[in-house]
Each structure stands twice: as structure tokens, then as C-alpha cells.
Amino acid sequence: MRMLLSLMIPSLLWAAQPAQPTRPVHDHYDRRLAPRMVPLLSEVIRFPTVAGNAKAWADQKTWIQKLAKGLGFEVRDAGKVMEVDLPATGGRDGAPVLGLLVHGDVQPVDDHWSIPPFSGTVKDGRVLGRGAADDKGPMIQALLAMKALKEAGPTRASTIRLLVGSDEESTNTDITDYLKANRPPDLSLVLDSAFPVVVGEKAWNALTLETQRPTAPTADRPWTVAALEAGLATSIVPDRAVIRLASAAGKDPLVALRKRLERRPLDPGCRAAFSLTPEGAGASLTITVQGKAAHGGVNLEGGRNALVALARLLDGELPPGGADDLLAFARQAGGDLYGTGLGLTEPDPLWGRCAVNVATLKPEAGGGLKLTLNIRATPKRYGPALEAHLRQVVSAFAAARKTAFSFGGFFGDTPLAFDPQSRLVKRLMADYERATGRVDQPAISGGGTYAKRMPHAIAFGMWFPGRPYPGHDVDEQVPIEDLHRGAHVLIETLADLACGEPLKEPFRP
Ligand SMILES: [Zn+2]
């Protein structure tokens, strides 16, 4: 109780601080702009802006340019980033810039959606489609909140600049390239995570293990691994894992294997399908495990990992070889979602544990196999220290199995931390509370955002706490009610930060 009081009292004080008169802006949004939210979001979802689709990107750019100009904003094409400006009331000269960052590209999709992923479907009070939450919803919310401010807001001391990036979900070079030729905004809010405000972002790492070791059938397991593949991308919980076993000893051993496997319990939330086909002199058994995709950093608990489930199903059933080695490692690393199997056990008092997603297993050129794990690390251990630790874990594992892997991956990211008592965090919490009536605790996120790349930036919204984040998931969707609630939070925040006196030293207490 004492804990609760000490958390509540300061927040009530912040909320009581005088704010800009924002009621007319909120009313204007509700009356004039809210009706445009769903149609605009549906339209922008129809551009399949996955990595590599240059045409979708160009078409979407034209669409945003036209929309932003129609709303009365100034648009500038800055290469990989687009700028949409609502200048300060007295003009842009000398006025500070408040940045709002979103990305216009999206994660890839697979064929397990219940609706076409790029149709912008509206159903049961929700907008569905790839990008609905991550990050096209926030893009439209920002444009409409800026419009509300332009038409009904107080005078602006700052220019509000919406920056739309283009490769956040893939190569993630857009902001770094932008900064080579452009000044960063004086302060930026990254609208690509959770409310009320994100005070910590874990470090993104990938661990890869490769093997060329062929499968050597044995007398009691007379089959080889003809194919093995799982997962879509490193930041997605794999919802599908497929293995094909080929027998040189005819069909009977595979029939017996299928019978054994069908009796084994499968991980909760997963299901398996078996298909046995005669194939020339031999026969083959294909096992497909279906799980549930989810964002590997933000909603790991919401996923059901098909790759780990397949690895557990096949425990003890594969003959020696690289496939068995990698699935054994997947079992160990996927024992829980927090890295226990990798020896990452110490919790951080504020940040908690790591998040580990056994993400993909794919064939390599030349007949090899590659397993990729995504590790979201806390300040306890990241970077070279994490890499060195994992090298040890992997070599001990390989030695115990009398095998070897090529070790690789990416360990170049660092956690991003903010002082929960900083001026900016307190102001954002108060804005959020005034707009929603909710008191929520600042968040730690497993997902990295542009806040790691843009100076003076912090992730602020636009997903509300208490619901699993659907970005990167199949049937990605956002409640329409939350789109409007989020727009109201943003209106309150823009009125506070862009219309009032600019915050001095925002990241200091
Ligand atoms: Zn995103």
C-alpha cells in the first residue's frame, strides 16, 4: 500500500499541473477528424511495404505526400525518411522542433492469416492488416492529431515534424542515413511501442549456429532428414515448423514412428499434422507443427513456438546429425522464454529477465542448416560480454554432444535507459493521465525502436498496456476505440510540449 501511495501521489501532482486549454482541440478531433481515422488507416494498409517492395514504397510515399498536403502540412522528401511539418505559429525560423517518429514499412507476412493481410479489413470494431498497429496506425494518429492542433489548438512555440522512416523492420539504416544530412529534432517521441512511456529498451541480439553435419541413419532410426525449416524472421515467434524424414528401409519404420509421435503430448497451443507418402523405393514422413506467431520482443508470451514444439516432439527420435544437434539446442534454449537454458538467469531489478525467441531454422546453401535465436538483453549482460558468454555455452553444449557448430550472430546493440524521474517522462505521464484518466507504470520494452538511433528521443505509445501487442503477429489488428484514445493522448501531449514553453534538459530529473 505504501508503495502504491508513493507512486500515486506524484502522478496526481503532475496531472494537476496547469495545461494548455485542450478541450476545444479534443472536441474538434472528435467532431471533424475522428471519422477519417479508419478509412485512412485501411487505405495505407493496402500498400504492402515489406522489405524489397520498392513499388509499394513509392506508391505509399505519393499517397502520404498527397494526404499531408491536403491536410495543410509541408512535406519534404529526405530520401529514406519523409518529413511532414506543422511549423511553429510564428514560422519555423529559430523555433525548436518536436519530432514524431513512425515507420512506414512493415514486417513480412505468411499464409496463415484469416483475412488478406493487405486489405485493410474493418471488423468487430477493429482495423485488421499488416501494419495496423506497427506502425501505420500511429502514422495516421499522428497526422490527425497534428491536424487537430493546427485547426483548433493554441499557438505553437515549436514546429511539429512527423518523420516517416522506411526500413525499420529490415536493414534499419533510415534514421542513421537521415542524420548524415539532416539535423535531428530537438526532442522526439517515437510512436512505435507502448504507453504510457518506455523508460527502457532491451538490446537486440541474434545468435546463429550453423552445421554441415549430415544425418547418419541407424538401425533403430533408419531415416534421414530430407528437409527441415521453421520460422519467418528473427523478430517473430515461429508459428510453423516442418520436417521431412526419408526412409531407405521402406514405409514400416515411419509408420511406427508416426504412431509413437501421435501419442506424445505436444506443447500447449500447438498442433501437429503427419503425412506419409511412398516415394520411389523409400517413403517419407512429413511432420508439420503449427503454433502461434507473435512479436519476439514485445509479446513473446503471446506466441506459441512451433520450432521448440517440434524439437520436443522429436526428442530421441532423430539419428545423429546436424539436424538433431540444432533441435537439441532449440530444446535447451527454448526451455523457457527468459534464457535459463542459455545460462542467462540473473534478473535486473528494473528490467527483469532477458527474452529469448528460438526464431528460425533454415537450410543453407551447400546442404547445411542454420538456427537463429533472438535474444533481447538487459543491462546485466549485453554486447561483447553476452557474446563471450554464449560462445562458452555453445561450445560446452557442442562438446557434450561430440559435435561442432559455426558460431555467429549480432551483438552490437546496447540497452537504452531513461531516468523514470526525468522531466520529460513526468510530463508524458501527466499528459497520458489527463487524456485517459489512467495511471499506468512506465514500461520496459523488449523491442528496440528508433529511440536507439535518434538523439533526444523516447518511445511514447501508441499501444495501451493490458492487451498483448499484435505487431508482427498474424491477423495484426487494432481496436478503433484505441486509435481514438491514442490520438487524444497525442493531442494532449502536443499541446503540452509544442505549445508551451520548450522543456529544458528534458532527460534530467
Ligand atoms: Zn514498429
Whole-Å CA distances, 482 to 117, 185, 300, 488 = 20, 27, 22, 10
DSSP structural state of residue 328: H
Rounded to the nearest whole angstrom, what is the distance from the C-alpha of residue 16 to the centroid of ligand 1? 32
**Residues in contact with 504: Cβ distance below 8 Å, sequence separation at least 6, in sequence order:** 423
Looking at residue 16, its amino acid is A
Rounded to the nearest whole angstrom, what is the distance from the C-alpha of residue 81 to the centroid of ligand 1? 15
Rounded to the nearest whole angstrom, what is the distance from the C-alpha of residue 193 to the centroid of ligand 1? 7
Rounded to the nearest whole angstrom, what is the distance from the C-alpha of residue 454 to the centroid of ligand 1? 15
Could you read off the pLDDT of 405-425 as tens digits, one per residue?
Answer: 999 999 999 999 999 999 999
pLDDT tens-place values along the chain, 509 residues long: 333 333 333 444 444 444 568 999 999 999 999 999 999 999 999 999 999 999 999 999 999 999 999 999 999 999 999 999 999 999 988 999 999 999 999 999 988 899 999 999 999 999 999 999 999 999 999 999 999 999 999 999 999 999 999 999 999 999 999 999 999 999 999 999 999 999 999 999 999 999 999 999 999 999 999 999 999 999 999 999 999 999 988 899 999 999 999 999 999 999 999 999 986 667 999 999 999 999 888 889 999 999 999 999 999 999 999 999 999 999 999 999 999 999 999 888 889 899 999 999 999 988 899 999 999 999 999 999 999 999 999 999 999 999 999 999 999 999 999 999 999 999 999 999 999 999 999 999 987 899 999 999 999 999 999 888 888 888 999 999 999 999 999 999 999 999 988 899 999 99
Rounded to the nearest whole angstrom, what is the distance from the C-alpha of residue 322 to the centroid of ligand 1? 35
Strand partners, 371: 209, 361
| CATH class of segment(s) 203-410 | alpha beta
Contact 198, 419 (CB under 8 A): no
Contact 353, 347 (CB under 8 A): yes
Could you read off the pLDDT of 191-231 as tens digits, one per residue?
Answer: 999 999 999 999 999 999 999 999 999 999 999 999 999 99
* SS3 per-residue string spanning 419-473: CCCCHHHHHHHHHHHHHHCCCCCCEEECCCCHHHCCCCEEECCEECCCCCCCCCC
Q: What is the pTM of this model?
A: 0.82
CATH, range 2-202+416-499 = 3.40.630.10
Rounded to the nearest whole angstrom, what is the distance from the C-alpha of residue 401 to the centroid of ligand 1? 39
Per-domain residue ranges of the chain: 2-202+416-499, 203-410
